[in-house]
């Protein structure tokens, strides 16, 4: 019985890894609730919507519908401000990068755990893009 209980604890610890969850962030910075909703920002001729309101714990996902790569960049450091990330990791998953490059039809996402407004920008990967983006900046407000 002890072996089964120990295995369960190890499994839960391994599953959580080094990613912070909304519950593991200090309450002063975090609402502590994960809603699980996914909110998409579509990148095509511009970004839509360019202003997004989410609950703490919702995943904000950027979808590149262009034929060329784009760079998505959040204006500030994400350390201690997100509870999940997909595509925003630094090398060897050591920390969180505030930018990512998305190839055509790729996506990346973040679950913001800190309340506030976060600015982001999207730009073409190369300077030779024949159809540059029109609207390239936006905000995410976390309630």
Which DSSP category does 114 fall into? Answer: B
Task: Express each pLDDT in 16-74 by its tens digit.
Answer: 333 333 333 333 334 444 457 999 999 998 999 999 999 999 999 999 999 999 999 99
Is the pTM for the entire model greater than 0.75?
no
Exposure b/e, 52-65, CB count within 10 A at least 16 = b? bebbbbbbbbbbbe
Nearest one of 62, 72, 69 to 104, comparing CA atoms: 69
* 119 pLDDT higher than 70: yes
């Amino acid at each position: 019985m002890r072996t089964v209980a120990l295995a369960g604890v190890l499994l839960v610890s391994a599953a959580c890894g080094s990613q912070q969850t909304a519950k593991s962030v200090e309450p002063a910075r975090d609402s502590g609730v994960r809603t699980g909703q996914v909110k998409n920002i579509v990148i095509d001729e511009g970004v839509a919507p360019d202003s997004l309101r989410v609950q703490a714990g919702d995943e904000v996902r950027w979808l590149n519908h262009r034929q060329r790569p784009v760079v998505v960049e959040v204006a500030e450091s994400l350390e201690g401000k997100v509870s999940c990330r997909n595509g925003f990791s630094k090398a060897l998953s050591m920390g969180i990068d505030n930018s990512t490059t998305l190839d055509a039809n790729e996506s990346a996402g973040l679950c913001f755990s800190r309340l506030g407004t976060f600015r982001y920008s999207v730009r073409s990967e190369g300077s030779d893009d024949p159809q540059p983006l029109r609207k390239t900046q936006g905000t995410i407000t976390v309630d």
